[in-house]
A = this chain, B = another copy of it.
Amino acid sequence: MSQSTTLASRAELFIEVTEFYARQMPLLEELEFDEFAATFTDDCVFGYDNAWQIDGREALQGGLRTNMARYGTSRVRHWFENRRIEPLEDGVIRVTATCLVSVTTEDGDVTFEPTCRVTDELIHTEQGLRTRSRKLRHDLPDVGRYFAKLAARYS
């Protein structure tokens, strides 16, 4: 396969993956939990390193509904950078990126959550790309302390 062909196929995979996230993430942001969960595989895993993990799409729907409820009337948005796309041997596509998360309150004030790294595994299905694994890690030396702070604030 020529260098040019390789680049062309990487370009196509880049577009396919970019389009996938551009459709997927607004579903979460706009609280379309069922539609968002439908972009994951039935046996997906979703979790934060050293904190918690959800197994399976059904649990994911409920977990996200609960997790996003703490934002109340604020709107969450995700801003990705450094997306790296690696096709693995078994058809899995590993995608890593950094992510900034903004929260806009109904008064128009904007705050940000700690930046994080995202490691996804995507697979091709008959319905297009689906996420089978999403692992998040905040850019914090002690993630447990952050989750404890969140729990104290929202409990």
Asked if residues A112 and B102 are in contact (CB atoms below 8 Å), the reply is yes
Known contacts A22-B83, A26-B82; A110 and B113 CB within 8 A of each other:
yes
One complex includes copies of this chain to the number of: 3
Contact partners of A82 in chain B: CB under 8 A: 21-23, 25-26
* Docked complex Cα distance between A99 and B2 (Å): 34
Interface status of A73 (Cβ within 8 A of chain B): yes
Q: How many residues of A contact B (CB 8 A)?
A: 46
Docked complex: A105-145 residues within 8 A CB-CB of B = 106, 108, 110-115, 138-142
Known contacts A25-B82, A106-B140, A139-B75; A7 and B18 CB within 8 A of each other:
no
* Docked complex Cα distance between A15 and B19 (Å): 13
A to B CB contacts below 8 Å, 8 in the list? A8-B12, A21-B82, A22-B84, A25-B82, A78-B81, A104-B139, A108-B140, A108-B149
